[in-house]
Amino acid sequence: MQTSYPRQDIKVLLLEGVSASAVENFKRAGYSQVELHAKSLPDAELKARIADAHIVGIRSRTQLSEDVLAHAKRLIAVGCFCIGTNQVDLTAARKLGVPVFNAPYSNTRSVAELVIAEAIMLLRGIPQKNALCHRGGWTKSADGSYETRDKVLGIVGYGHIGTQVGVLAESLGMRVIFHDIETKLSLGNARAVSSLDELLERADVVTLHVPETPATQLMIRREQLAKMRAGAMLINASRGSVVDIDALATALREGHLAGAAVDVFPVEPKGNDDAFVSPLIGMDNVILTPHIGGSTLEAQDNIGIEVASKLIRYSDNGSTLSAVNFPEVTLPEHPNSRRLLHIHRNVPGMLSRVNELFSAGNINIDAQFLQTDSEVGYVVIDVTADAAQATVLKEQLAAIPGTLRSRVLY
Ligand SMILES: NC(=O)C1=CN([C@@H]2O[C@H](COP(=O)(O)OP(=O)(O)OC[C@H]3O[C@@H](n4cnc5c(N)ncnc54)[C@H](O)[C@@H]3O)[C@@H](O)[C@H]2O)C=CC1
Ligand SMILES: O=C(O)C(=O)COP(=O)(O)O
């Protein structure tokens, strides 16, 4: 279907080495202006580059704050080519009429596999043994080295990743307990515990799989670490903000914890050429990884296809299905109609004002779908009109007070 605004004029800005599968997907769909950067950009450059971008794709590192988004004058949609969307000011984007999409499942298995591998490595004391061998040392000993069988794995955040970690851990013979703020269906023999404290007190290995929210900010501090069993281990592949990293360093240094595996940090380098700084550097019993929990070729390839497809669908036909900050609207394509979009502040009487326009112009509405949330309304309208009429209608829609965006799609 030919779009009113030519696809080749739509600028797609992709940062942080988003997978080539995304670029291919855009190009195949006719979006020829795709700019790909290997890293996240410094704030000033980001503001400059985002100024004329219609679509922006990022991963977990790029911060799309209200201030940055205010520079994006032509932005129609944002894609987070990852799970977390905490790096985007979702409310600010919504108020600008910009839907944000992500890939909620594609890298979950990759994280779960890494966590299981780390649990085994930590229980065997491999990080410190490996480090010593590299320095010419030799510690052939069973001290502090355990099988996973019958050990208790405590999962904090029993969602898409947490549940998969639980299933894999049970296949190794671990006993799985979990804590979540929602009531969750237990898979296998996993058991919910009554509180985070109970989980910390009972688990041999604690693994964190919560999103970054105000409630998970520094969820694991000195007091929580002190509640963990002496000799227990902590794995964090969620967000760096969830753990007080200095308190973790102290608990490890003092020997209360036997080891840790950390993939995410309060401050992470912008790209592979930048230095990594952490109080955990130099601790042999800590596995440090550069936020690669979801970085497998399979996951990145699938994420590239998934998020690019969502962005293309929105740009081509207005579907906001699975947007994380926006009313979800999807309407089948009606090839013989013109499609208009109207995004507005959710105030009383908006739909009747939109519809008055069409009846005043004697324009027939072939199909219409409105969805609202507390702040924003989004309506897709298919009408019988020619291209010139559609352009006039778009301008008239834009003039309705409270309008955030109006577009003609085709
Ligand atoms: N290291 C990496 O490369 C990756 C990290 N992640 C991180 O992992 C997080 C989790 O991913 P998914 O499992 O897919 O998310 P999810 O949304 O499926 O699961 C999160 C679970 O945490 C629970 N939760 C939320 N707040 C909580 C709280 N205060 N206390 C206890 N439970 C709470 C939720 O109810 C939910 O069950 C993502 O938000 C992302 O930040 C995700 C992918 C890759
Ligand atoms: O999916 C997520 O939330 C992740 O943390 C993975 O982030 P990344 O795409 O590796 O920057």
Q: Is the CB of 294 under 6 A from ligand 1?
A: yes
Q: Is the CB of 293 under 6 A from ligand 1?
A: yes
Q: Is the CB of 239 under 6 A from ligand 2?
A: no
Ligand 1 geometric centre to CA of 156 (Å): 9
C-alpha span between 122 and 114 (Å, rounded):
12
Catalytic site includes residue 345? no
Mutate to test the pocket of ligand 1, among 111, 196, 239 (most ligand atoms within 8 A of CB): 111
Atom of ligand 1 at shortest distance to CA of 157? 22
Mutate to test the pocket of ligand 2, among 291, 297, 298, 307 (most ligand atoms within 8 A of CB): 291
Task: State residue 291's pLDDT score.
Answer: 98
Q: Is the CB of 210 under 6 A from ligand 1?
A: yes
Catalytic residue chosen out of the listed positions 291, 338, 339, 407: 291
Q: One digit per residue, pLDDT tens: the chain, 410 residues?
A: 788 889 999 999 999 999 999 999 999 999 999 999 999 999 999 999 999 999 999 999 999 999 999 999 999 999 999 999 999 999 999 999 999 999 999 999 999 999 999 999 999 999 999 999 999 999 999 999 999 999 999 999 999 999 999 999 999 999 999 999 999 999 999 999 999 999 999 999 999 999 999 999 999 999 999 999 999 999 999 999 999 999 999 999 999 999 999 999 999 998 899 999 999 999 999 999 999 999 999 999 999 999 999 999 999 999 999 999 999 999 888 888 999 999 999 999 999 999 999 999 999 999 999 999 999 999 999 999 999 999 999 999 999 999 999 999 99
Tokens for 251, please give them. Answer: 């608990």
Q: Is the CB of 229 under 6 A from ligand 1?
A: no
* Cα Rg of the chain, angstroms: 25
Look up residue 197 and give its amino acid. Answer: D
Q: Is the CB of 264 under 6 A from ligand 1?
A: yes
C-alpha span between 348 and 320 (Å, rounded):
22
Ligand 2 geometric centre to CA of 19 (Å): 12
Whether residue 247 contacts residue 121, with contact meaning beta carbons closer than 8 Å, is answered with no
Atom of ligand 2 at shortest distance to CA of 60? 11
ipTM, two decimals: 0.99
Look up residue 360 and give its amino acid. Answer: A
E strand or H helix that includes residue 163: helix 160-171
pLDDT tens sequence across 1-15: 788 889 999 999 999
Answer whether 0.80 is exceeded by the pTM. yes
Q: Is the CB of 102 under 6 A from ligand 2?
A: no
Ligand 1 geometric centre to CA of 2 (Å): 40
Place of tokens 């499609």: 339
DSSP secondary structure string for all residues of 262-308:
E---SS--SSTTSPP--TTTT-TTEEE--S-TT--HHHHHHHHHHHH
Catalytic site includes residue 256? no
pLDDT tens sequence across 90-104: 999 999 999 999 999
Residue 46 sits at φ, ψ, to 5 deg, of: -60, -45
Ligand 1 geometric centre to CA of 216 (Å): 10
Whether residue 208 contacts residue 185, with contact meaning beta carbons closer than 8 Å, is answered with no
Task: State residue 302's pLDDT score.
Answer: 96
Task: State residue 331's pLDDT score.
Answer: 87
Q: Is the CB of 84 under 6 A from ligand 1?
A: yes
For residue 46, give the 3-state DSSP assignment: helix
Residues 6+ apart with CB under 8 A from 129: 139
3-class secondary structure for 218-270?
Answer: CCECHHHHHHCCCCEEEEECCCHHHECHHHHHHHHHCCCEEEEEECCCCCCCC
Q: Is the CB of 160 under 6 A from ligand 1?
A: yes
Ligand 2 geometric centre to CA of 77 (Å): 19
Atom of ligand 2 at shortest distance to CA of 291? 10
Catalytic site includes residue 291? yes
Tokens for 275, please give them. Answer: 């230095």
Burial class (CB in 10 A: 0-12, 13-18, 19+), 44: exposed
Ligand 1 geometric centre to CA of 159 (Å): 6
Atom of ligand 2 at shortest distance to CA of 80? 9
Place of tokens 């969830």: 242
Ligand 2 geometric centre to CA of 293 (Å): 7
Whether residue 55 contacts residue 13, with contact meaning beta carbons closer than 8 Å, is answered with yes
The 10 Å Cβ neighbour count of residue 213 is 13
Atom of ligand 2 at shortest distance to CA of 102? 1
382 bridge partner residues: 339, 367
